[in-house]
Structure 1
Amino acid sequence: MVLRLHTGVCSLFGIRYPLFLAGMAGGPSTPELVAAVSEAGGLGTLGAAYMEPDAIGAAIDEIRRRTDAPFAVNLFALRAVDDNARIREVQPVLNTMRDALGLPQAGPEPAATRDLLDAQLAVLLEKKVPVISTAFGLLDEPALREAKAASIRVVAMATTVREAVLAEQAGCDAVVAQGTEAGGHRGTFDVRRHPMGANIGTFALVPQIADSVKLPVLAAGGIMDGRGLVAALALGAQGVQLGTRFLTAAESGAHPAYRQQLLDSTEESTVLTKAFSGRPARGIANGFIRQWDASGIEPLPFPTQNTLTRDVRNEAAKQNNPDYMSLWAGQGTRQLTSGQTAGDIVAEIMNEAKALIGSVSE
């Protein structure tokens, strides 16, 4: 078997190494982290799903000040439509957490989540970002057509073969095969079909997607080092996407208390939960998750649950209290390092992969 690290993904996206940074929304993917991964030869990705359009524009400008290399911006391809039907059930559970943090109680007033997708996309098109990546679905046909007209590459996250085929049919340039080992929200298109996400393991998913589409495939979920990259290539992927591995990088925006929880965790620490956002996501089990599960109350759908829990999560961060923070993480946390630069992480992964590929080729 002969494996090569310069794959079609490298040529397609104008990068040296077949390694993408995952778009980690909510703070970890700072412009510094994005630029550092791109400068090191990978494709840095800004997790912009929760960002105001003006903030996205400013972050893109900052990335471009730091690097001339290609980068991506990730959005949730999902309309923000609230469902407040059971808010009287949900708020009492959250109010017990607010009590623990010294926050005021919340009443049954409906959540009002702003739908920013069109305005966010307008910024990406105006700025002509090199790559747009999406989770939770695909860009609609007019948006995809505009991106193509602007020579913007489009990447979609897929958690099943069916989703990958839809991405190919829509005209995406590449697809990320995202296994259940992945941290945070995975890209499952329809949570009515898969209420806790489509939980197919990375190494089962990758070859099945690679056999089913002609698009370049990147593997994601539990991949932390050069061994994971080489294994993904052997299974038919042309590259990998890593998120958790970069959460404790020097340039990461992850909260210090969050970083410590990551470094203290093991492969047994994470669970799948809808408690924070209303969509299934993998994170380190903590007081919030345990308290929510004990209530027996079903979370409201995304984005309503996410909007309602924001004050609890934000206050917990202010108080350095990880028990009420969303501690998104994949299953490979024993391989994390503290304070290593993103450039060093990329170099370490690629050096290990080169050594392994050399031995495979002999």
Structure 2
Amino acid sequence: MSLPSLKIGELIAKVPIIQGGMGVGVSLSRLASAVANHGGIGVISGVQIGYSEPDFSTNPDQANLRALTKQIRKAKDLSPSGIIGVNLLAAINNYEDMVKTAVKENIDVIVTGAGLPKNLPGLVEDAKTKLAPIVSSGKAASLICKLWDKRYNRVPDIVIVEGPLAGGHLGFKKQQLNSPDCSTLEKLIPETQEALHPFAKKYERTIPVVAAGGIFNGQDIAKFLKMGAQGVQMGTRFVTTEECDVHENFKKAYINSREQDIQLVDSPVGMPGRAISNNFTKQIETKRIPVSKCNNCLKPCDPSTNIYCISEALIKSCQGNTTDGLIFSGTNAYRTNKLTSVKDLMTSLVQEAELAY
């Protein structure tokens, strides 16, 4: 049976897969455009996207804005008819300017997590850009809808529900993640749909729900579609593609990892993260790595007390230093075992999902 398309207003993705936004420098224009060209929604990560700009160390805000513009234009040139999104953390200090730049470049979708995007509709105004907040509970989805409804007479165009098995920053406390009572994605999907129902009814529209976190194969995709999700978001599987923008050493770290290598780490921004164990993760367990140069990138970050600079750690791994950098990953990174193309991956995922669906 054919998979249903993912509809976000007038935008229609033939394949109901959103490629997760992965920073720093993991998902840029090359990966996003490849996913979009094969029917999914490709997403550029805007997190410290200007790391390779010549003035990044002296003028990071402008470097990030310039790089975001470049990457969106490249992606649209490479996929003129595909759906391209950008992932922007609500916790970044230049969030408003990054959102406005993305809208100016006619980005199709803004995916946003790591905090409540309270003012996002006001930044987008009347643009056609679709808004996709990431939530980790029905309560958070309801809160965003209440805020947007009251302030802007608007609700999200789509909601991404990210469960505890995701990579990168997680919307759960560390003790929750280590607890057997932690809400699973299977529980969070219906909970979020119920929370969204009154707002969908009020605005006489569908608010699609997308399942994210730990989704690895076509069987997983089919399971959540049968549960009522309109699509899935996947990050880990796209890291080990030829088109992924990150250094080859980063991809090899995924392929060579073992299940016991995937661990929770403390992030300087107060949210736990999931990463592949290496020399860096071992260091931060026992000592503080002083911040030599702060780019003032995240709102809740204090360089004078934080155990390390997450920006520097992520940039190192992105550029190939997978010994001394932080390698964010999903729970299932160890299950990747080879490099493949986006085309072959998407074809395989769809075939597996259709058989199970």
Same structural fold, with TM-score higher than 0.5 when normalized by the shorter chain: yes
Letter in 1 for 2:84: F
Q: Does 1:74 align with 2:87?
A: yes
Name the structure 2 match of 1:107. none
CA distance in 1 between counterparts of 2:41 and 2:123 reads: 22
Please list the CA deviations of residues 182-219 of structure 1 after superposition, one character each: whole Å capped at 9, or x if unmatched. 11113x3xx7xx46677532223223222332321111
Range with bigger deviation, 7-16 or 39-48: 7-16
Q: CA deviation at 1:277?
A: 5.6
- Report the Cα offset of residue 313 of structure 1: 5.5
- The aligned amino acid for 2:159 is V
SS at match of 2:259: coil
Do residues 173 (structure 1) and 157 (structure 2) align? yes
Between stretches 304-313 and 198-207, larger displacement belongs to: 304-313
Q: Quote the offset at 1:338 in angstroms.
A: 2.6
Summarize the Cα distance change of 1:293–1:56 in structure 2 as closer, same or farther, 3 Å threshold.
same
1 CA distance for matches of 2:34 and 2:309?
34
Q: Distance in 1 between matches of 2:98 and 2:307?
A: 19
Deviation readout 1:263-284 (Å, 9 max, x if unpaired)? 1223332112124665311111
Q: 2:117 aligns with which of 127, 139, 163?
A: 139
Question: Cα distance, 1:314 vs. partner?
Answer: 4.7
Are positions 1:182 and 2:191 aligned together? no
5 Å-filtered alignment, 1:28-39, equals: 28-39=26-37
- Equivalent residue, structure 2, for 1:100: none
Distance change (3 Å), C-alpha of 1:8 and 1:287: closer
Given candidates 76, 84, 96, the residue that maps to 1:118 is: 96
Could you say if the C-alpha distance between residues 50 and 196 of structure 1 is closer, same or farther in structure 2, counting changes exceeding 3 Å? farther
What amino acid does structure 2 have at the position aligned with 1:207?
Answer: P
Rounded to whole Å, the distance in 2 between the matches of 1:337 and 1:317 is 19
1:130-182 CA-partner distances (Å, limit 9, x unpaired):
111101134333x4144251111100111111112123332111111101111
**Percentage of pairs with the same residue:** 24
Residue 181 of structure 1 aligns to which amino acid in structure 2? L
Q: Residues 293 and 63 (structure 1 numbering): CA distance in 2 closer, same or farther, change over 3 Å?
A: same
Query: Who is 2:19 aligned against?
Result: 21
| Structure 2 equivalent of residue 95 of structure 1 | none
Aligned to 2:260: 268
Deviates more, 1:218-227 or 1:248-257: 248-257
The 1:331/1:325 distance shift into structure 2, 3 A limit, reads same
Structure 1: runs of 5 or more not aligned: 81-114, 358-362
- Give a deviation string over 1:28-66, Cα, whole Å, max 9, x none: 102010000001000000001222001100111101110
1:287 corresponds to which of 261, 265, 279: 279
User: What's the secondary structure of 1:233's corresponding residue?
Assistant: helix
* Worse overlay, 205-214 or 303-312: 303-312
Q: Unaligned 5+ residue runs, structure 2?
A: 50-63, 149-154, 198-206, 292-297
Give the corresponding residue for 1:224.
216
**Which residue in the other structure is 1:5 paired with?**
3
> How far apart, CA to CA, are the structure 1 residues paired with 2:125 and 2:166?
29
In 2: Cα distance, 1:354 partner to 1:306 partner: 46
Q: Which amino acid aligns with 1:23?
A: G
Report the Cα distance in structure 2 between the residues aligned to 1:293 and 1:246, rounded to whole angstroms.
29
Residue 39 of structure 2 is matched in structure 1 by 41
Shift of residue 236, structure 1, vs aligned partner: 2.1
Pair 1:310–1:240, CA change in 2 (3 A)? closer
CA distance in 1, matches of 2:43, 2:233: 10
- Quote how far apart the aligned CAs of 1:11 are: 6.1
Structure 2 residue 197 is matched with structure 1 residue 208: no
Q: Is the 8 A contact 2:117 2:144 kept in 1?
A: no
Normalising by structure 2, we get a TM-score of: 0.79
Matched to 1:164, the amino acid is: A
Letter in 1 for 2:32: V
Measured in 1, the distance between the counterparts of 2:47 and 2:229 equals: 26
Distance 1:203 1:62, change over 3 A: same
| Matches of 2:100 and 2:308, distance apart in 1 | 23
Report the CA distance shift for 1:265/1:225 in structure 2 as closer, same or farther (over 3 A): same
- TM-score w.r.t. length of structure 1: 0.78
* Matching residue of 2:349: 349
Secondary structure of the residue that 1:272 maps to in structure 2?
Answer: strand
Following superposition, the deviation at residue 310 of structure 1 comes to: 4.3
Which of 282-291 and 21-30 deviates more?
A: 282-291
Q: Does 1:243 align with 2:220?
A: no
- Counterpart Cα distance in 2 of 1:338 and 1:290: 26
* Cα distance in 1, alignment partners of residues 314 and 251 from structure 2: 15
Instruction: Give a deviation string over 1:313-347, Cα, whole Å, max 9, x none.
Output: 655666x5423211111111243243211122111
Q: 1:6 to 1:12 in 2, by over 3 A?
A: farther
**2-structure distance, mates of 1:72, 1:176:** 13
2:263–2:277 Cα contact (<8 Å) kept:
yes
The question of 1:154 aligning with 2:131 is answered: yes
Q: Report the AA paired with residue 27 of structure 1.
A: G
